[in-house]
Amino acid sequence: MHRLDDEYEALRATVEEFARDVVAPVIGDYYERCEFPYDIVRRMGRMGLFGLPIPEEHGGMGGDYFALCLALEELARVDSSVAITLEAAVSLGAMPLHRYGTPEQKAEWLPRLASGEVLGAFGLTEPGGGSDVPGGMRTMAVLDGDEWVINGSKAFITNSGTDLTGFVAVAAITGRREREDGTTAPEISTIIVPSGTPGFTVSKKYSKVGWSASDTRELSFSDCRVPAANLLGERGRGYAQFLRTLDEGRVAIAALSVGLAQGCVDESLRYAKERHAFGVPIARYQAIQFKIADMETRAHTARLAYYHAAEKMLAGEPFKKEAAIAKLVASDAAMDNARDATQVFGGYGFMNEFPVGRFYRDAKILEIGEGTSEVQRILIARQLGLPA
Enzyme catalytic residues: 370
> Measured between alpha carbons, how far is 169 from 188 in angstroms, rounded to an integer?
12
Nearest to 169 by CA among 189, 190, 152, 141: 190
| Helices 355-363 + 24-33 axis angle, to 10 | 60
Beta bridge partner(s), residue 303: none
> Measured between alpha carbons, how far is 261 from 365 in angstroms, rounded to an integer?
14
Q: Which amino acid is at 168?
A: V
First to last CA, the chain: 33
Q: Buried (b) or exposed (e) across 234-256, using 16+ Cβ within 10 A?
A: ebeebbebbeebbbbbbbbbbbb
Q: Buried (b) or exposed (e) across 116-155, using 16+ Cβ within 10 A?
A: bebbbbbbbbbeebeeebeeebebbbeeeeebbbbbbbbb
300 contacts: CB under 8 Å, gap ≥ 6: none
Classify residue 308 by its DSSP letter. Answer: H
> Measured between alpha carbons, how far is 138 from 128 in angstroms, rounded to an integer?
9
Taking a C-beta distance cutoff of 8 angstroms, is the pair 210, 365 a contact?
A: yes
Q: How many alpha carbons lie under 13 Å from residue 307 in its C-beta half-sphere?
A: 12
> Measured between alpha carbons, how far is 27 from 326 in angstroms, rounded to an integer?
27
| Helices 38-47 + 24-33 axis angle, to 10 | 140
